[in-house]
Structure 1
Amino acid sequence: MQQQQKESGIHMRFGKAGWRNRILTLGTAALVAPIAVGVAPTALAAPAPIAAPVLRAPAGGYEELMVPSKMGPIKVQVQWAKNGGNAALYLLDGLRARDDKNAWSFETNAQQQFGNDNVTLVMPVGGQSSWYTDWAQASNTNGQKTTYKWETFLTEELPNFLAGYGVSKTNNAVLGLSMSGPAALRLAALHRNQFKHASSLSGPLNWGAPGMREAIRVMMLDAGRFNVDSMAAPWSPAWLRMDPMVFAPELRGLPMFISSASGLPGGHDKPAGLGGAYNTANAMGIEVISMVSTRAFQGRLNSLGIQAVYDFPATGTHSWKYWEDELWKARPHILKALNA
């Protein structure tokens, strides 16, 4: 399912004056190949290299960046803060993340929701079935050639790159849904200097529950034929490091928004035909699993005396329009934590 991204209020802006266009063009070119410029009225001067990026896009603009990483260049969709502020919200994609666009940019109105706010939206593209972690090895069930290193990208390579555009490396929030719900909490828990707020929407947050690892195995095989054992060996330190129940103590003092619906169909569920009915039933079942594990995680945090903001809607299935609604509910908490 794919929808055209709304164009209203979201557009490319590279400055109103010619001098700014020329500067940004040079800065962008420096990302692709080394270049040098010199000024010599009468004779050639020694070339001076241009370090890039050195400038940021005009406040409120939209841009698509290609960011170097150990996995190769990663596309990142960015909506810059309305008034040029340094805060950022990382919006992570779901299990079936595509290679051309982050689903937050076309399945929801996320960009419109934050269009007048002083926070930059950072939407990494790709990472299907990755759980946004560093894998032990490339998947051996689908011929994957490059080993996923998403945690390294999101906590080192990407923030270092964005810093050149005026985005703070320490004033960020992260939000994920489904697959990326536990990833958002993990990234914030283990990288507290980077993230000031974390949100999980319909995330499976109890990895130690009976059958959960095999359920994750089936999901990953279905979404790209990825092998969960290539990500982390069963019950290894790397696997336990990803389990929200295990890293929960590291969340103490971190503002959080955590939600999951009941799985009962609501206003956004309008199935058409047998295919639509099947998809809705599937979304109901997945959301029930998410809700049960999220409730268990709530109990874990309560036992530790760790506070969070929770939302458990009476209706809602595992689908994008409900996550759009939850993003709107999380928005004021995110802006408060970032002082944006």
Structure 2
Amino acid sequence: MAVPFAAAAVIPAVASASPVVNSVHRTPGGGYDELMVPSVMGPIKVQVQWAKNGGSSALLLLDGLRARDDRNAWSFETNAQDQFANDDVTLVMPVGGQSSWYADWASPSNTNGQKFTYKWETFLTQELPAYLANNYGVSQKNWAVAGLSMSGPAALRLGAFHRDQFKYAASFSGPLNWNAPGMREAIRAMMLDAGRFNCDALAVPWSPQWLKMDPMVFAPQLRGLPMYISASSGLPGQYDHPNSAVGVFNTGTAMGIEAISMVSTRAFQARLNSLHIPASYDFPSAGTHSWLYWQDELGKARPGILAALGASAG
């Protein structure tokens, strides 16, 4: 859903078992590494900023619909690394996953010649945490996760169904009501636009797999999980200064998408309220569907993330 994303892919290959190494970070605390992590999809690039003082907790930052194949946009569109530079938490930023919703898909996409099946939930909850634990001493049981746009509902889903791993989840401008009228058709159109991916390969319409990805359906599973949930009005804010026809068009698109996100997020808030499940919310009066607003929201969520993980702040 996010406007400023670009194409991504994952190179399929035969995954090899990650070696068990009884060592902690090869890079000093607070340092940065780019790892190639084995998976059933092939090697996945993961950008990592290690915890300042060698702590074992982790924050997973998920990319958006047009996730690139070279870098996770949190690492260059925002100051996320600076925000957590002095905190004792490792930032984990997987690369790739365009149009994936960070889910385990039913089959490869047949509209773009995909040669393998996305298995992102398996990667994020099994392969990646095991690799980081075995090789770098990162806990498999003390993670937070944050996502924006496409990855907002993914962050909540991971938190809902993998409580042994995730202690906190944050969604910024996420589409949180998948069964709203026209939503599947909108998701289909967005996925075709971002990499020509087939929505039906993700999950058969209204199947249990599809329903599992709808936050409105899995909302009861979120009870007891600390959460931060936000969306803006869609009105132009402090970061919107288009100075060309293309800029005006992009801003208009970002306004419309954010307004839809706001409606969806408000509906989800009502759903959680009906279940008496608390969460922290933020609904800024101005802001469009773009990265600098998500940067600000991550900063607002940061105290809650650190508290849930028991990680010391810098």
- 2:99 and 2:191 in contact (8 A); partners too: yes
- Compared CA separation, residues 304 and 136, structure 1 to 2 (3 A): same
After superposition, give the CA deviation of every residue in 1:201-252 in whole Å (9 maximum; x if it has no partner).
0000000100000000000000000000000000000000000000000000
- Is 1:55 matched up with 2:24? yes
Select which of 130, 137, 149 maps to 1:160.
130
Moved over 6 A (4+): 31-34
SS in 1 for 2:169: strand
Select which of 174, 179, 190 maps to 2:145.
174
Select which of 196, 216, 228 maps to 1:257.
228
Letter in 2 for 1:292: V
Unaligned runs of 5+ in 1: 3-30, 35-49
Distance across 1 between alignment mates of 2:220 and 2:261: 21
Shift of 1:155: 0.2
Letter in 1 for 2:24: L
- Compared CA separation, residues 145 and 280, structure 1 to 2 (3 A): same
SS in 1 for 2:77: coil
Structure 1 counterpart of 2:98:
128
Distance across 1 between alignment mates of 2:244 and 2:102: 35
After superposition, give the CA deviation of every residue in 1:268-300 in whole Å (9 maximum; x if it has no partner).
001011100000000000000000000000000
SS in 2 for 1:213: helix
Letter in 2 for 1:82: K
Select which of 240, 250, 253 maps to 1:269.
240
Greater relative contact order: 1 or 2 (C-alpha under 8 angstroms, separation 6 or more)?
2
Letter in 2 for 1:219: M
Structure 1 counterpart of 2:38:
68
Query: Aligned runs of 1:151-300 on 2, under 5 Å?
Result: 151-164=121-134, 165-300=136-271
Distance across 2 between alignment mates of 1:181 and 1:94: 9
Structure 2 counterpart of 1:22:
none
Distance across 1 between alignment mates of 2:36 and 2:289: 31
Select which of 278, 289, 293 maps to 1:318.
289
Distance across 2 between alignment mates of 1:52 and 1:319: 40
How does the TM-score come out when normalised to structure 1?
0.85
- Is 1:109 matched up with 2:75? no
- 1:53 and 1:161 in contact (8 A); partners too: no
Paired residues, number? 297
Structure 2 counterpart of 1:39:
none
Shift of 1:51: 4.2
Task: Note the aligned Cα RMSD (angstroms).
Answer: 1.6
Distance across 1 between alignment mates of 2:272 and 2:124: 25
Structure 2 counterpart of 1:40:
none
Distance across 1 between alignment mates of 2:250 and 2:22: 44
Unaligned runs of 5+ in 2: 6-14
Distance across 2 between alignment mates of 1:115 and 1:185: 25
Letter in 1 for 2:75: S
Structure 1 counterpart of 2:11:
none
Shift of 1:166: 1.1
Structure 2 counterpart of 1:41:
none
Shift of 1:58: 1.8
Shift of 1:32: 9.0
Select which of 54, 57, 81 maps to 1:84.
54
Select which of 112, 119, 138 maps to 1:149.
119
Distance across 2 between alignment mates of 1:55 and 1:334: 23
- Is 1:138 matched up with 2:108? yes
Structure 2 counterpart of 1:95:
65
Shift of 1:92: 0.1
Distance across 2 between alignment mates of 1:194 and 1:175: 14
After superposition, give the CA deviation of every residue in 1:156-183 in whole Å (9 maximum; x if it has no partner).
0000001021111011000000000000
Shift of 1:87: 0.6
Shift of 1:331: 0.4
After superposition, give the CA deviation of every residue in 1:75-133 in whole Å (9 maximum; x if it has no partner).
00000000000110000000000000000000000000000000000000000000000
SS in 2 for 1:106: helix
